[in-house]
Each structure stands twice: as structure tokens, then as C-alpha cells.
Amino acid sequence: MDIIKAVIPAAGLGTRFLPYTKSLPKEMLPLLNKPAIQHIVEECLKSGVNNFIMITNKSKYALEEHFDYNLELELILKEKDQEKLLSGIKKIIKASRFTYVRQYEPLGLGHAVLMAKHSIGEKEYFGVLLPDDIIIHEQPGLDQLIKIAKQEKASVIAVQEVPAECVSAYGVISIKKQLTPKLFQVSSLVEKPSQKDAPSNLAIVGRYVLSSKIFNSLEEIGTYAQGELQLTDAINHMAQNGEKVFAYKVQGTRYDIGTPIGWIKAIIGTALQNPSYAGQIREFLSELDTPQSFMFNNSKNISNKEL
């Protein structure tokens, strides 16, 4: 079973990050010097996936620009002997194939995934990565799921434990069978349950490996709960119609950059893990306790190194 394609739904409205997201994509929010979407694409490439189907809308042109050559800039950098500043992103562009599909109306995550139907083969498994969710771990989140999908020959969704009082913010799995401490067979999914109705505290995070059968489920559901077609409803439909669906406790630190506070945490978290930045960030954070020294000491130069 080869898994070489990833669908990246990026056509949401980003209401939690307005007004920034009025005209700019949140997927281009930087984590240090790389936009979030580049982290997602790098996670895929490290997982053996290099064929990308990005679901976009009219305010997302910057995503296409980022994964394209900029010959004028390259020429200027060449004259200054600074070509290597673009070598990382050029390598990514060379190694990848990008297809952009428009979702004309934001009719939900399920609808966004359905837009990719014509780019996926009839009996193919593919990754889905929500670019709001940044997962940092030595073994990329998608790679962890691909291993399980190959082993079980079935769809797999990523989950993480959340405190019981937070379950109502997530989709949560109901467990049919626990196979290992990290692997579960799913009987159903419940979207944003109340704490007392939650079947577990294993919340769905934004990584999936899905069978192309998901498209039949999305089409069969056809109804739009509160105006949206939900991916969780379609996965539920698959699980309840004889398709095995597994959940895997994905390893890593997860940041939800869909809100300003989540994005700030992601920047600080990634900076603290990066030897080029960690020392100065720690120093800066400790200086915040003594505001005067912070005011006079905030112009240190951090070099433009790749993450």
C-alpha cells in the first residue's frame, strides 16, 4: 500500500484569527522564518508523501506563490552571493507536486476533502493534514499514522488525550477495542460532546490517513449539519458501514495555530526547541519579569537560519 498523496484543506474562513484572516491566509503565519504551511509540507515529505492537493479559496494565493520559484529574487540573491537563503524551499518545490483545488464556499471540512475526490484513485489511501495543527516530533505525525495504516490496511485518525473538561472543544472517539496502549479500533466519533456524554478523552487532532471510500461516505451523507459537511460524520459513516477505522495516539507536541494564543505558543515552543533561538528566547522571557532591562535589551540580532 503506497501512500504518496496528501490533501491539505486550507479553505476555511479563519474566523478565530480575524481580522488578520480577512485577506491573508493563516497558513502563512510564520513559525520563526517558515510559514506554517511549509512545516506541514515538510512533515509530508519526511513521511514519503510528495503529491499535494491543497484546497484553497480566493484569499489563499500566497500559498501558491510560496511553493513557486521567484526568479527575480533569486537573481538578486545570486548577485549578493546569498542564494542559499532560498535553497531549503527550492528543494521542497523540486521534490513536490502541487495541485490547487478551489472550494468556492466554506461548506465544511468534509466538503473541502470531497473537493479532492478527482485527484485520488479509486482504491487509494491518502493523508489529510489540517494546516492549523502543527505537530512537532522526531517522527513526523503523518509518518506515525502511515505505519499503522499499512499495518492494519485501514483508515487511521490521530488522537491525543485531553483533560476531561476540554472534550467539548473536540471530536472524540468511542473505542470498540484497544489493541495496544496507543492503538484503538474506533466504533464511532462524537463531535464536541459535553463532558458527561463524552465516550473518551481521546480527541481527534488534524492528521488522518483515509481510504478513498471516504468519498462515498461524504456523498452518501450529503446533508449539511448546520450548513456544513463534517469529515467526522463521514468517518463515522465508514466505521458504521463495515470499514475498519483505527485511532492512534500520535506522539508529539501539538499547537493549534488557528487562534492568536495558539500561534504565540507555537512560536515560543518551536523557538525554545531550536538551538539558534533557544538561548535568546529564554533570556528574553526572563527579562520580561524586569521590564526596564527588557526595554533596553530587545534589539539583539537573531540570524536568518533555517529552522
Site residues for ligand UTP per CB under 6 A: 9-16, 55, 103, 106-109, 111-112, 130-132, 258
Judged by beta carbon, residue 99 or residue 185, the one nearer ligand UTP is 99
Q: Which cell numbers in the block locate residue 70? A: 521567484
* DSSP 3-state percent helix, strand, coil across the chain (nearest 5): 40, 25, 35
Judged by beta carbon, residue 60 or residue 271, the one nearer ligand UTP is 60
Judged by beta carbon, residue 125 or residue 208, the one nearer ligand UTP is 208
Minimum CB separation of residue 103 from ligand UTP in Å reads: 5
Minimum CB separation of residue 8 from ligand UTP in Å reads: 8
Minimum CB separation of residue 256 from ligand UTP in Å reads: 8
Q: Which cell numbers in the block locate residue 30? A: 510564520
Judged by beta carbon, residue 4 or residue 107, the one nearer ligand UTP is 107
User: How does DSSP assign 197-217, residue by residue?
Assistant: T-S-SEEEEEEEEEETHHHHH
Distance CA 61, CA 54 (A): 11
| Closest CA relative to residue 206, chosen from 35, 77, 37, 16 | 37
Judged by beta carbon, residue 144 or residue 230, the one nearer ligand UTP is 230
Minimum CB separation of residue 272 from ligand UTP in Å reads: 25
Minimum CB separation of residue 233 from ligand UTP in Å reads: 13
Minimum CB separation of residue 192 from ligand UTP in Å reads: 12
Judged by beta carbon, residue 48 or residue 106, the one nearer ligand UTP is 106
Judged by beta carbon, residue 11 or residue 271, the one nearer ligand UTP is 11
Judged by beta carbon, residue 43 or residue 271, the one nearer ligand UTP is 43
Distance CA 182, CA 169 (A): 22
Asked if 125 and 1 count as a contact pair (C-beta separation under 8 A), the reply is yes
Burial 22-53 (b: 16+ CB within 10 A, else e): eeebbbbbebbebbbbbbbbbbbbebebbbbb
Minimum CB separation of residue 250 from ligand UTP in Å reads: 17
Extract long-range pairs of 186-193: CB within 8 Å, 24+ residues apart.
Answer: 186/157, 186/235, 186/239, 186/245, 186/246, 186/247, 187/239, 188/236, 188/239, 188/240, 189/232, 189/235, 189/236, 189/239, 191/230, 191/232, 191/233, 192/168, 193/167, 193/168
Minimum CB separation of residue 131 from ligand UTP in Å reads: 5
